[in-house]
Structures are given as C-alpha cells and as structure tokens.
Amino acid sequence: MTTRLNRLLVPAVLVVAVLILPRLVTSNYWMNLINLSISLAVACLGLNIVLGYAGQLSLAQAAFWGVGAYTSAILTTQFGLPVWAGMFAAFFVAAFFGILLGIPTLKLSGHYLAMATIGFGIILQLILVNAIWLTKGSDGITQIPSPWIGSFELKAPGDFYYVAAVSLILFTWGAIHLKDSRVGRALMAIRENEMAAGTAGVDTTYYKILAFTLSAGYAGFGGWLFAHSCSHYISPDTFSFEQSVIMLVMAVLGGNGSAIGSIVGATLLTLLPEMLRFLKDSYMMFYAAGIVAIMIFMPSGIAGLVKSMPVSLRLRAWWNAGSTAARQVASAAAARENSGGKPNAFSIEDCTGSGEVLLSVKGLAKHFGGLKAVDGVDMEVRRGEIQALIGPNGSGKTTILNMLSGLYVPTSGEIALDGAVVTGQKPHVITAHGVARTFQNIRLFGELTVLDNVLIGQHSRSKAGLVAGIFRPGSQRTEEAALRLKALEALEFVGLRGKEFAEAKSLPYGRQRVLELARALVSDPKLLLLDEPAAGLNAAETEALVELLFQIRDRGITILLVEHDMSLVMNVSDHITVLNFGKKIAEGSADEVEHNQEVIDAYLGMEVATEVSNDA
Amino acid sequence: MMLDVKEIETWYGAIQALKGISLDVNQGEIVSLLGANGAGKSTTIKTITGLLAPAKGRIEFMGQVITGKEPEDIAEIGIACVPEGRRIFPGLTVLDNLMLGATPRENAPQADIQKDLGRVYEIFPQLKESRKRLGWTLSGGQQQMLAIGRGLMSGSKLLLLDEPSLGLAPVLVQEVFRVIKEINGMGTTILLVEQNARMALLITHRGFVLETGKVMLTDTAANLLSNEEMKAHYLGAHAHVKEARQRRRSERGRV
Amino acid sequence: MDWSTNLQMIAAGLAMGSIYALVALGFVLIFNAVNVVNFAQGEFAMVPAFVTVWLMSSLNIPFALTCVIAVIFMGIFGIVFQRIAYYPLRHRSFLPVVISTIGVGIFLKNGAQIIFGAEPLSMPRPTSATALKMLGVFVDPQYVVVILCTLALLGFQYFFFEKTMLGKKMLATAQDKEMARLLGIPVAKMIAITFAYSSILGAAAGILVGPIFFVTKDMGAMLGLKAFCSAILGGFGSVPGAIMGGIFLGVIEVFASYYISSAYRDAFAFIILILVLLLRPQGFFGEKIAEKA
C-alpha cells in the first residue's frame, strides 16, 4: 500500500510545483518564453510518439505545428470562432494532415522516410506562404485573440500559462499512459523489429498511420498554444525545416522514447539561447557543435544519462515496485510458491493429435526474378504432429516458412490452414488465424522487457485501443491483468521465471531463443513455425528444447520446424519433408528419410550403405 | 608447419562461438575443416583472416604471430581468403576482380602479375572468355571460379576456401573440387571449409571435424571416411538418439 | 510555343541540373562507401563558394589559382569532416549520424555567417556578362561553362573509376567493404579519399553556381535537399542515376516554374520526390532491396 501511495505523491508534487510557477516568475518576458517552451514541448511529445515510440523518423513536425497554429488563427480571426473551438480544430486538422503523410510513406523507412517527411513539410510551408487568400502569405496573421474563460480574458502570459501548463500535464499523462498500453507496445514493437511485430500479430500499417496521426495532432495543439500566446502573431517563416530539425534535436537531447525527456529537451533548448545571449552570433555554432557532441557522447540523451546514474536506478526500482505490473508479478510468484511450482492454467487447445490435415500447401512457388527459390512444393502438416523441413542451404526451407507466415507473397500456389485459405495474406492476419513463428536470427524486441515481449505476442488476442489505453477504464485494466497473467504462465513454462523486467537483449543467447518461443506461444497458435530453433544452443540447451517441444505438442499445438541439427530432427519429428533446389525430394518418417538414397546424396554426402545393412 | 592455430576462443557478443580450437596446416597439404551448420567453421576462418579478434589463443603463420592483426595486414603477409558466398565485386568486371586480387603484391613487377593472370586463365578458361563481363552477370558456378581465381592472384602460399561448393549444382561441385586439387598440385597450400564432407575428404590429406565450437575429431582423410562416428555425426544416428527413438516408438505403440 | 524561350530554359535547366548532379554525386559516393546520408552535402558547396568569393574579392587572387586553392581546401575539408562527423559514429545506427551531419551543416552555415556576414555576396564572374548567341538563341555564358565543366568533371571521374587501380579499389570498397579488406585494400584510406572527392565535387558545384545566384549562407540547404531528391529520383546509390536525376530535376524545375507556377518553384522537386517514393521508390536505375527474414 505504501508504494502505491508514494507513486501518487510524486506526480502530485510535480503538478503543484508546475501550477505555482507564475507566482515565482514575475517578468512577462520569461513567462512568454515558458509558454513558448510548453508549446514546443507538446510538439516534441508528439515527435516522441512517432520517433521515440514507433521509430519512424519524421522531419515535418514543425509543419504540423504550423498547420495547428494557422487553422486556429484563421478560424478565430477570419471567422470569429471562439478560441476553444480553434483548439479542437487545430488538433484534428493537424491530425488529418498526419494521416496524409502517414499513408504514402508506409513502405518507407530510414533515409527515404526522412526525405519524404522533409519534402512534405517544405510543401506545406510553401502552401502557407502562397495561399495568400487564406493565410495572408508572408505578412502573417496578426492580432490573434486570447482565449476567454467566462468573462476573464487570458491575455497576460502568466494567465495563459495555466492553460498551457494544464494542457502539458494532460498531454504528458496521455503519452505516458500510451507507452504502457497495448497500443504503445505495438508501436515500440514496430520500432524494435517491424518484421517480428507483424508476425506477432501487430497490424503495422494501421499503427504506423496512427503514430503519424497522433503525433501530428499533438504538434497541432502545440501550434494552437503558440498562436494564442506570446506575440499573438504567426508567419510562415517560423514553420520551416530548420524548426523541424530543432524539434528533432530537442526530442533526441531529452532522450528518444522518454516523454519527460522531450519536455526537458524543449525547455532547455528554448531557455538556453536566452541565457547564452552573450555569445551573440556564435550561439548557433555552439548549439550545432553541441548537437554533434551529444550524438557522439550522449546518444541516449539526458534521459539515458539520468537512467544510468546509480541514484536514479534505485529511484526507478522503488518507483517500479509500486507499478501494477510489478505487484502482479510478485503476487504470482508468491502464489506459485504455495501451489508447489507447476505452471497451471497455461493451456492452449486440449485436443491431441487427431491426425487430420491442419496445414495444406499445394504447388507453392516463389520466384525472385530468375531465381526459383521454391519451385512447386506440395506439403501437408497433420494436426498434433511435429514435422521437420530439412534440406541443404539454399533449398528453400526458410522461403517456405516466410510464405507460410505471410512475409513473402507466393508467386503461385495455395496455402490453407484449417480449411481457411491464407495465401498471400499479411502476417498479422495469418497470426490471427492461428500461426506463430520464431526466426532463424532471433527477432526479439531488444530494448523492451521480457514481459513486454510476451505481452506483444498476445496482440492479436486482445483489443484495447488508443482511447482505452490512455484513459484506462475498468475493462482495459482487467484485460491488461489477464494478459499479464498469461504472459507470466508462458514465461514459467519456458523457464524464464524471475526475469520479467530484464531487458530482452540482455539475456544470454539460449534464454533469448526461449523467450521468442514464449512470445509465439501466447498468441494461441494452432501451428507453430520454428526456424532453426536449436541454432547456437549447446547440448544441454538442445535437450531442454526437445523437452519443451514435446510439451508444446502435448498441449495440442502442431509444430513445423526447419532445422539442421540432425540429432534433434531425428529425435523429435513424426514426419520429415526433404527439400533440394526448391523442390520436395522425399518425405516420410525419420527411418524412411534416413535411408533414402536421394536424400543421402543431396544433403548428407556420405556413403551409409554399410550402416544401413547393419541397422536392419 | 605453415599455419598453427592454438586454442582460440572467439565470441560473437554474448555467444561463445569457438571454445578452444586448435589446428595446423603443413606446407603443400589440403586440410579440411568439417562440421555441421553452426559448428564454428566460418568463425574459425574469420578469426584466422583477422575479421574477428579472438579473446584467447594464438595464431602463427610461417613462424610469424598474426593473432589480432588487421585483415589488410594478414593479406599482405600471405594468406588469401575466398570467403563464403563468393563475394565477388558485382559492379566490376572479371578482369578487375582478378587484378584486385593481386593487391597484396601490387608493387611486384608487372610481368609476374601478368604471368599469374595467364595461369589463372589456363585453369579457368571460362574466365578468360568473360573477362570484360560485370560480376553480377555471371552464374553461381562462374562466380565461384572467379573468386578462387582472384584468391590465386595474390600469389599467396596459403589459400583459405570457405564452402566453395555451397549452392552449386552437383556437376559444378565436382569441377570445383577438381580445380582445388589442381591448384594444390601447383604448389598452393589449402585450408578448406566444407559442409559436403564426402567430396571434401576425397581430395583432402587431413581433416578436423568441429562440433559446437570445439574440434571433436582429427585424422587423415582416409581414416575419417571410414570412421563410424563421422557417419553418425552427419546423420544423427548416434546411439543414444536411436535409443530415444525406439523408446518413443514403443510409447506411442502403447497409446 | 516560343521556341527561343524554351531553348533558353533548357539551357538554364541543364545548367542547374548539372549543379544538382554534382552535389547528388557527392551524396551517392559517400552513401555507397559508408552507408551514410550526409545532410551537410549542400554546405559542401556553400563553403567553397564563400572561400572563392573571399579569395577573389578580398585577396584579388586570379580565378584559376582560386579554383586550385579552393579544390585543395575542400579536399582537406572532406577528410577532416569524415574524421569528426562520421568516424566516431561509424558503428551506430543511422539516426545519430543523420543528426550529426545536420549539426555540422548548421555549424558551417553559422560559421559562414560569422566570418562573412549576413549579406549575400556576389561572386565575380569568370565569364563575361554578355549573352552568347547559340542556336539562334541568347544564352548566359555561365550556363555553358557550367555544363562544359560538369561534363569535363564527369569525364575525368569516368576515367578515374574505369581505368585506374585506385578508382577500382574505391569501387570495390563501396561494393563490399569486408571483402576489400580481405584482399588487402586499405579501406579506411579509401573512405577518406571518398569524402575528399565528394567535397571536391561540392567545390565544383559551389564555384560554378556562385556567379549565377548570390552566395549566401542558406544556399546550401535547398541545394542539398534538391540534390538528395535527384539522387532518389535516379535511384539512390546509382552513380549514373544521380547524374540523370539531377539533370532531369533541373530541367523539370525550370519548365514547371514557368508554365505552372513560379511561386511554388521549390515545391516541384519535393512533389516529384514524393511521387517517385510512392510509385517507384527505387528510382530510374536503382534496385529493389528487401529485408531478409
């Protein structure tokens, strides 16, 4: 109970401190600067959502800031609407432009995405300059009104401050809640590993657009704050590419991914130039040199620096101990002690091998230009069996797995799962149908915790959306608790108990493999695709893996695995399919395949005639 | 002894890929490095060529310690490498690729380099025909020939070949191994990494078999070819695995 | 159709396009060598432009010698730049490097302002101001100089990469760094030379474009962005692509701003960019790259 109260105390203190600030700051000049900082901070919070959470580099944030400012300025000066109406308009119009940017740039990433956003921002600015009939062009819009509360005009900077401060608190609260919700986890999964996010059940298209939309909306609101305070004047010059760069630097300085960090970065980089006025013209050079130095020496920004300080580590531990997640983990651990330590309710389907066909593959082919990676393969996987797909390097095994999980669209052929045709569907759709997979080169969400990795695995089996994630009604909290419970049981099952809050990439290699398995299991798959699950494992770890595979099969999940470790394959498989040069050359039980001459020649390269006769 | 590798341990981040590998290659030999996927064969080659630095251990070449040296220096000292996946320069011509192979001795008299180029063309007549073609237009087999030819151009005494038969059709594989034997006959010592154990052992003098980062077995090629454990290793028919299979079969019979 | 106007515009478009091509080439060479997009590439043209103006106007150094000095200066500049902005970050993901190069760009811009003042400067013309009559049309001789110099430079570059061993080594480094090392090619040196050459291309662009417009601290920004558009248009990573993209963009820009709208002149590059990214992201000559599962 005490930890819970402590958790409420800290934000309460912060809120009070924020609200009494105007009492301490008497100069209008500094108050204006603080209002400007807040307006930029809200925009940076938005940038933090699209870049820090979702990992999409957007250099158009100042343009959305401008859209918000102009929308409200035009509505209030030319159409006489009340300022509060302008506030809603600013948010939603900017958000709409965010959708306009998000849709065409879906397939882009890295430099291409950055360039597209730059281009978008520059075009928007040019429109602001040239659509004189609407925006008054380079002259800008003057005499932008202040908001009224009843009969009280919030004209003085110290009065407007309360609007700004309360907005900032609300938007920050929203961003922090978002991060720790199903939607936030989906965004971070995209950032960490977009491919794995898709196969874990996240609709990457939808969430990327959502990130752009939300971040543009935040920026638009920040623009509203800017327009109706400070000098009550806006002009297109302010909303330039350079300003987008400044916002980027603010967000990165604060610490990519940290909401509080964005606020710190924005405030610091707005107030600092004032304090450094004595440097005059060379200020920008110091600023620029500082940017380069930060990138070299402090790439995780201020938040990263603070995080690694021992004082803050203890503070965080104390803070996290009070979180709902931590309390649930602790009570689950206690319950386990009492019940004797066996993972209980973690079950998938209960039907054991009924022998009917679960996955049917007909004439599957994948051509990359002239290369026929897979050249007409027919396969069947029966419910409840463990089937292995083997063959020399380049025989097409991983390509088949990629088509089965939706990462590649087949050139021809058909894939049917449990009667439903899933050929060419997107990964998250196939996951919803009941297919889960692991990857050859482990694709975990490295910077996220072990627990979060497994929670994301349940994305397709949960439904809390954006609004629920921010406002956390009872139904959302219940869902989160249930997701955590299942995640904990999955972790128990694979032997990762006690590691829930460790960073996924900090785990040793063997544990990482097993974590990926847990993430796949919690999506309630009918079919589990494993790509070289034993790669890099030592003998003991491989034996443990074999045991796990049998237990998974016993709980009703069918397994198709690609593997090179022949002792694993022979030991574990009920049925083996052998590929070579993109075609199936043999299939059957372990014994049959082991003695098939074509298989021996193509794959194994060893004369085993003598051994065969000795065996019989 | 030309190449002496002693107890090297190499890590990939948190994973220990090599747990104390020792091997040696004598002048004039073809030595094979065998083992299943992921056993550490390529990691060993990368450690010898300097792309990876071992955490422990020592590598000596012709009496000179080369542990931890940069790849550029090791190339100059006289070890040439034909890495896995051929890795010819796709945007450069066949001739360019070959001439770049002579970089470690670019200060040697042009006549010598031209002589070696002629020798390469003799071994690989197809390369002479296609010398003006760009690398990416060649077939897999031709690229492999080019990669080997490029390795020969360095005039190096020791040639490391990493999985030269990978992804090639069987008839081309035979051709590659014939060429390797021919090169060895002309005086180049070879350390050969291969997954296709049978073909490799047919031309090798001695072999080292790796398994999960350690040398499990080393012997002459003839002995390895008839070795029971070798056969078992590649087919998973280890005794204990067979037992486990019998057990499961009878279990299922009961259910 | 007023043919003489159109011909003049073609000349202007080719000239501007050549400038874009030179800067775009600088981008692409660096990108191919070290997988980094240099957001300060525009400043690689701005800095030598200022240096040229200073040498000619303040020190009265003749044009030919000025060019030599500017080229040597930029060569050294490129190597220093690589050491500060790229080398410490060479193992990091792309975001720190992007921000770092942006930072250097801002540093250079403001440094130029402090040293040379905020007023736009005019670069003395190496050519006369009288229009030349070519093909029955009056053309600014500077345009002709730009086109000819660019062709000469491209010719030299072609010879360098196609016929010299050093050029081959640089291409090899760009195509497969690790393999180049295995062959004994000193990769670090090749990268330094790439940056130096890319800066020299910037010098050419800055010196050639200076007399056409004013030399200002902001000239690099738009130039860099549009050159980046050109590179993407042509297929990012392709050398002929960068050249074709630059020329194509230069010509389109001139015609579009005359026939459609001159106020939105700067927007056309980005509109085309977004269209290309939507419809054919690999550009004219580029190749589709897919991530391996």
pLDDT at A140 over 50: yes
A293, closest residue in chain C (CA to CA): C100
pTM for this model (two decimals): 0.84
The pLDDT of residue A611 = 31
pLDDT at A614 over 50: no
Q: Per the CB < 8 Å rule, is B196 touching A605?
A: yes
Q: Per the CB < 8 Å rule, is B154 touching C182?
A: no
Q: Per the CB < 8 Å rule, is C94 touching A112?
A: no
Q: Per the CB < 8 Å rule, is B106 touching C172?
A: no
Q: Per the CB < 8 Å rule, is C267 touching A112?
A: no
The Cα A141–Cα A124 span in angstroms is 17
Which of B190, B210, B169, B228 lies closest to B41 in space, CA to CA? B210
> Which residue of C109, C114, C267 is in closest CB contact with A122?
C267
Q: Per the CB < 8 Å rule, is C179 touching B87?
A: yes
Instruction: Name the band, by pLDDT with cuts 50, 70 and 90, for residue A603.
Output: low
ipTM surpasses cut 0.90: no
Q: Per the CB < 8 Å rule, is A291 touching C102?
A: yes
Q: Which CATH number fits domain B3-229: 3.30.420.40, 3.40.50.300, 3.10.580.10, 3.40.50.2300?
A: 3.40.50.300
The pLDDT of residue A616 = 31
DSSP 8-state class, residue A604: I
**In degrees rounded to 5, what are phi and psi of residue A33?**
-65, -40
Report the gap between the CA of C79 and the closest CA in chain B (Å): 21
pLDDT per residue as tens digits for the range A225-244: 999 987 889 999 999 888 99
pLDDT per residue as tens digits for the range C64-91: 899 999 999 999 999 999 998 888 888 8
For A197, the enclosing helix (H) or strand (E) is: helix A194-199
The Cα C9–Cα C17 span in angstroms is 12
pLDDT at A342 over 80: no
Q: Which of A111-120, A382-391, B246-255, C228-237 has the lowest mean pLDDT?
A: B246-255
Q: What is the mean pLDDT of chain C?
A: 87
pLDDT at B39 over 60: yes
Report the gap between the CA of B70 and the closest CA in chain A (Å): 25
**Which residues on B lie below 8 Å from A540 (Cβ)?**
none
Q: Per the CB < 8 Å rule, is B83 touching C182?
A: yes
Residues A504/A453, Cβ–Cβ less than 8 Å: yes
- A residues 227-246 lying closer than 8 A (beta carbon) to C: 241-242, 245
Averaged over A538-566, what is the pLDDT? 85
A537-568 as b/e: b if 16+ CB within 10 A: beeebbeebbebbeebbebbbbbbbbbbbbbb
Averaged over A508-519, what is the pLDDT? 91
pLDDT at C245 over 80: yes
DSSP 8-state class, residue B136: G
Q: Per the CB < 8 Å rule, is C183 touching B49?
A: no
**Which residues on A lie below 8 Å from B238 (Cβ)?**
567
Any domain includes C32:
yes
Beta strands in C18-140 (DSSP E): 132-134, 137-139
Report the gap between the CA of C60 and the closest CA in chain A (Å): 28
Burial class (CB in 10 A: 0-12, 13-18, 19+), C67: buried
The pLDDT of residue A608 = 30
The set of residues, in sequence order, having a beta carbon less than 8 Å from that of B242 and lying 6+ positions away, is none
**Which residues on B lie below 8 Å from A570 (Cβ)?**
235-237, 241, 245
Say whether residue B166 is in contact with chain A using an 8 A CB cutoff.
Answer: yes
- How many domains does chain C divide into? 1
Averaged over B50-64, what is the pLDDT? 92
The pLDDT of residue C290 = 46
Q: What is the mean pLDDT of chain A?
A: 86
pLDDT at C283 over 90: no
Say whether residue C167 is in contact with chain B using an 8 A CB cutoff.
Answer: no
pLDDT at B83 over 70: yes
Any domain includes C273:
no
Any domain includes C99:
yes
**Which residues on B lie below 8 Å from C181 (Cβ)?**
51, 70-72, 75
Averaged over B98-103, what is the pLDDT? 93
Q: How many CB pairs under 8 A join A and B?
A: 67
Q: Per the CB < 8 Å rule, is A606 touching B195?
A: no
**Which residues on A lie below 8 Å from B196 (Cβ)?**
605
Q: Per the CB < 8 Å rule, is A116 touching C111?
A: no
pLDDT per residue as tens digits for the range A357-396: 999 999 999 998 778 889 999 999 999 899 999 887 678 8
Q: What's CA A378's distance to the chain center, in Å?
A: 36
Chain A touching partners, 3 or more CB pairs below 8 A: B, C
The pLDDT of residue C230 = 93
Report the gap between the CA of A368 and the closest CA in chain B (Å): 15
Q: Which residue range is the domain that position C69 belongs to?
A: 3-219
pLDDT per residue as tens digits for the range C25-58: 998 999 888 888 898 999 999 999 999 999 888 8
pLDDT greater at residue B141 or residue B96: B96
Both tokens assigned to C36: 């980094």
Report the gap between the CA of C149 and the closest CA in chain A (Å): 29
pLDDT at A615 over 50: no
Q: How many CB pairs under 8 A join A and C?
A: 122
Instruction: Name the band, by pLDDT with cuts 50, 70 and 90, for residue B37.
Output: low
The Cα A114–Cα C101 span in angstroms is 14
pLDDT at C1 over 70: no
**Which residues on C lie below 8 Å from A249 (Cβ)?**
99, 103
Dihedral sign for Cα atoms in the order A117, A121, A126, A131: positive
DSSP 8-state class, residue B51: S
- A residues 116-155 lying closer than 8 A (beta carbon) to C: 116, 118-120, 122-123, 126, 129-130
Any domain includes C200:
yes
**Which residues on A lie below 8 Å from C264 (Cβ)?**
126, 130
Burial class (CB in 10 A: 0-12, 13-18, 19+), C232: buried
The Cα B156–Cα C137 span in angstroms is 63
Which residue of A606, A610, A612 to mutate against B (max B Cβ within 10 Å)? A606
A508, closest residue in chain B (CA to CA): B14
Say whether residue B247 is in contact with chain A using an 8 A CB cutoff.
Answer: no
The pLDDT of residue A6 = 65
Averaged over C94-112, what is the pLDDT? 87
C172, closest residue in chain B (CA to CA): B89
Averaged over B63-90, what is the pLDDT? 91
The pLDDT of residue A1 = 46
Beta strands in B95-237 (DSSP E): 158-162, 189-194, 206-211, 214-220
Q: Per the CB < 8 Å rule, is C273 touching A115?
A: yes
Averaged over A249-268, what is the pLDDT? 90
Any domain includes C155:
yes
Provide DSSP, A532-583: STTTT--HHHHHHHHHHHHHHHHTT-EEEEE---HHHHHHH-SEEEEEETTE
**Which residues on B lie below 8 Å from C185 (Cβ)?**
72, 100, 103
The pLDDT of residue A137 = 87
Averaged over A480-500, what is the pLDDT? 89
> Which residue of B199, B228, B245 is in closest CB contact with A605?
B199
The pLDDT of residue B217 = 85
**Which residues on A lie below 8 Å from B14 (Cβ)?**
508-509
The pLDDT of residue A58 = 92
pLDDT per residue as tens digits for the range B188-243: 999 999 877 777 888 999 999 887 788 888 888 888 877 766 655 554 444 455 55
**Which residues on B lie below 8 Å from A394 (Cβ)?**
166-167
pLDDT per residue as tens digits for the range C9-27: 898 999 999 999 999 999 8
pLDDT per residue as tens digits for the range A155-173: 888 888 989 999 999 999 9
- Paired strand residues for A380: A360
The pLDDT of residue A73 = 94
Binding-site residues on chain A for chain B (CB distance < 8 A): 392-394, 508-509, 535-536, 538-539, 564-571, 581, 590, 594, 604-608, 611, 615
Any domain includes C286:
no
C267, closest residue in chain A (CA to CA): A123
> Which residue of B166, B231, B238 is in closest CB contact with A567?
B238
**Which residues on C lie below 8 Å from B72 (Cβ)?**
181, 184-187
Averaged over B9-33, what is the pLDDT? 88
Report the gap between the CA of B113 and the closest CA in chain C (Å): 14
Report the gap between the CA of B72 and the closest CA in chain C (Å): 4
**Which residues on A lie below 8 Å from B197 (Cβ)?**
605-606
| Domains of chain A as residue ranges with CATH | 2-18+34-315 (1.10.3470), 355-434+525-616 (3.40.50.300)
Q: Per the CB < 8 Å rule, is C229 touching A439?
A: no
Angle CA B101–B104–B110, to nearest 5: 80
**Which residues on C lie below 8 Å from A299 (Cβ)?**
92, 96
Which of A197, A187, A203 lies closest to A429 in space, CA to CA? A203
The pLDDT of residue A419 = 87
